[in-house]
Amino acid sequence: MALKTANETTKQKSTSGDVSIFLQSEIVCEILSRLPVKTLMRFECVCKGWLSLIKDDTCFIDLHLARSKLRPCFTLAIPRNGCCSHPENCYIVPHKVDMLIADLSETGKISAGATSIVDIVSKTVSLKYDGILKPVNGFICFTNTRKSFGVCIYNLSTRELSPWINTTFAIKKTKLDDYLPTYQFGFDPATKEHKVICMCGSIERMILSI
């Protein structure tokens, strides 16, 4: 009967412990990747390992995003002041926006247990905008043509609002009315970045004498 040395026994215990830790990490990752974002954010304070996994692990982030797309979600942005019938005046007063969110079942109907989450964007900053683009992966883009064709991004899950990002296209403020901007908001799978495209067309004014 072969006798094991102390070193061999220690190595076996160490290997067994490493495998156990690895399996535990895999199980934790599997469970967390299936949670809604709002619930997931609550687990960031459990330990540093979970915080690093949720915030910095690109593989986990990609896995969670892929699984989140399998859970349809209905998002409705409602201006508190009502719809603006004259877009040229919408930028004057900061708008409060209610975000109504409901999880949808696989059949496309709102599930019986779904709850609507109401969030007011203007509680974070005084938000002036004249346009809202469709949500992409839980992000909503607000536009402001009166602010150098600026945009800002709102994260529905973390309730974070980015600073205004102005276009690098040199336009004098006195000439803003001479351009007609068109915005598009999307996700680039190659770079895994969300991007906003602003295309400006010039308006030619002609005076016809009769």
152-183: per-residue pLDDT in tens? 888 877 777 888 888 776 555 556 567 778 88
The pLDDT of residue 64 is 81
The candidate with the shortest Cα–Cα distance to 127, out of 82, 181, 79, 74, is: 79
Average the pLDDT over each of 69-83, 100-114, 173-187 and give the range with the smallest value. Answer: 100-114
Reduced to 3 states, what is the DSSP secondary structure of residue 154? Answer: strand
Reduced to 3 states, what is the DSSP secondary structure of residue 190? Answer: coil
pLDDT classification of 124: cutoffs 50, 70, 90: very low
- pLDDT tens string 44-62: 888 888 888 888 888 888 8
Is residue 143 within 8 A of residue 150, CB to CB? The reply is yes
The pLDDT of residue 4 is 52
State the CB neighbour count (10 A cutoff) for residue 95: 21
Is residue 96 within 8 A of residue 76, CB to CB? The reply is no
d(CA 168, CA 150): 10
Q: Can you read off the two tokens belonging to residue 135? A: 């949500």
Domain range list for the chain: 21-68, 73-202
